Each structure stands twice: as C-alpha cells, then as structure tokens.
Structure 1
C-alpha cells in the first residue's frame, strides 16, 4: 500500500524534498574542474564571508562546519556517480561515511579543492569513493564514502513523475558547474 496519493506536477516540489530527506537544497560546489567517467572528479568551492552559516560558526572565528566539508565531498562524489551513469538515477544519497579525518580549518577566502576517486562499485546502486579536500597543499579532510543511487519511482511509485523533474534540474545545475560537458555534446 502506498503512503502517498497520486500527485500532480504542481505539488511534486513539495513532496520530493520530504521523501528525499538527506539531499541538500544548496550546492557546496562552485565548479567541476576535471571529470573522468567511472574514475575520478575534481571540484572547487570558494568559501566567502557571504556564506550565511559562517555568521554563527563561529563568531569572531568563521570556519566551514565539518559536516558541510563532508557534504562537499558527498556532492562531488555524487556528480561523478551521476555523470558516469548518464544521469539514469534521479537521486543520490550518502549511505555511509567512514574514516572521516578533519586535518585543518577552511576559512573565508580559502578555496577547497575536492577530489574523489571511485574505489569500487559494490553493486549497481551502491558505490564506494575515497574523497579528500585540500586548501592549497594542505589536506583539510579525507573520507571514505558510500553513496546509493535510485529513482523515486523505485521507492514511491505514486511520485514517479518526480524523477524527470529532478533529473532535469540536476542536469541544468551540472551544466553550470561543468560547462565543458555541454560544449562536448555540441
């Protein structure tokens, strides 16, 4: 028995974030600089004082929260997963974060360069990545991440039309983050 009634296109944007609870609603990646399908990705995030969360973390000593550093690694790895699978799945979520090590702070004015490498495909839907972030030559974070991909229709058939909406939104953002992909298609 389905929990959700059939939904029209106009209310999909209400239900999708509720169902996909873990997915961030903002991007912690400013640019994808290198991408090798099925292998690796490099991305960058420029931290500025304009980041709203820095007002409270911490007053007088603003630094990027550790959980957002992890999320930047997750988002970078998710882009590799999506691109490698030709955007077949609408949703990619963190399943597990292991061996997370914070080595230094990321401060306003810093650019964190994030690298993620596919370690293995556990199965079709679950992949393991080794990811790290550096500011210049200084390593600030490392982690082993396990990500899971799926379509909304697989879990919630009543909102299957949300897959197309979500996928188009993801592709649009991807083309902003990695415009080389769009020009390669032309």
Structure 2
C-alpha cells in the first residue's frame, strides 16, 4: 500500500527507522508501483486508462473530530503521459462513486488486476531491518507492507513523513556545489 492517500497533499516520502527488531518474521516488502502500473499499461491499455481517468475516493475517520478525504486517480499522469503518482491502499479506499455505472465493472476489473500485479511475488523486494537501519520510501511510487509475525520478539520502528521537495532541493544544492565552476 501507499500511506495516507486520504490526505491532500499526500505525504511524498516516508522514513522508517528500526530501533528494535528481534521478532520472528515481520520482514518489509516493497513494490515499485510505477513498474506495476507500466505492466498494467502493457498488458491492457484500456484498463490502465480507467485508473488514470477516474478518481478513487480515499477516507480515514479516526478519533472524534477526524475525517480526512481525498479524490485522486489511483494512477496519476502528467499531461505528457508520464507517471506522476500511484495511490493504492485497500484499507482507506472508499466507495467508488466517480465512475459512470456503465464503466464500473471494467473499473473494478482494472483495480483488481492492478492489485494482482502488485501482489505478484516477482514484483516485490523483501528485507528485514536491523536496529540502526532505516529505509526511505517514495510514497508516490513505492508500495510497502510487512509480512506476519511468528509471535516472539519485538519490532519497534519510528517513522516520519518528510516531503520529497525538501530532499530534492538539498540534493540539487549539493550537486550544484560539486560543479567545477563553483569550486574555489
């Protein structure tokens, strides 16, 4: 899944830092959502188009006074057709109401097929974080999950949601410092 698709704007990054991981199981899994979307596009362009043309609704209703909602396509494209973002989270997808009734069955076929591609073990990378390690997820591209636990040990991760533009700005500034014309 991608995190918090019900937020607007959606968090563009997630950092998970491992403080403790003595649990049996609980391995992290990641899937390149753009690769999954491209696979759907190659297999069936019409199904791909449905997930780019119609908005899905995402919702989180937590404690009293909290109800976050968003409407965005599951697969977002730039005007030139370039992939911009993927939003996929079964737990927070609300009723699909933006799709015309005569396209609804095809839309759900597309949604289901994208889910099957994402669940294909050939698409995933699996790893287990050790204490002191972290991983950074592009939340507009990479889906993440974890495997189940065997029932013993502890797993404690600390996470945060920085924005990608801040990281990209820092990276660009550092690259600019390395330009030969800028060196003393």
On whether the aligned pair clears a TM of 0.5, the verdict is no
TM-score, normalised on structure 2? Answer: 0.23
TM-score, normalised on structure 1? Answer: 0.23
Larger RCO: 1 or 2 (CA < 8 Å, sep 6+):
2
Asked which structure has the greater CA Rg, the reply is 2
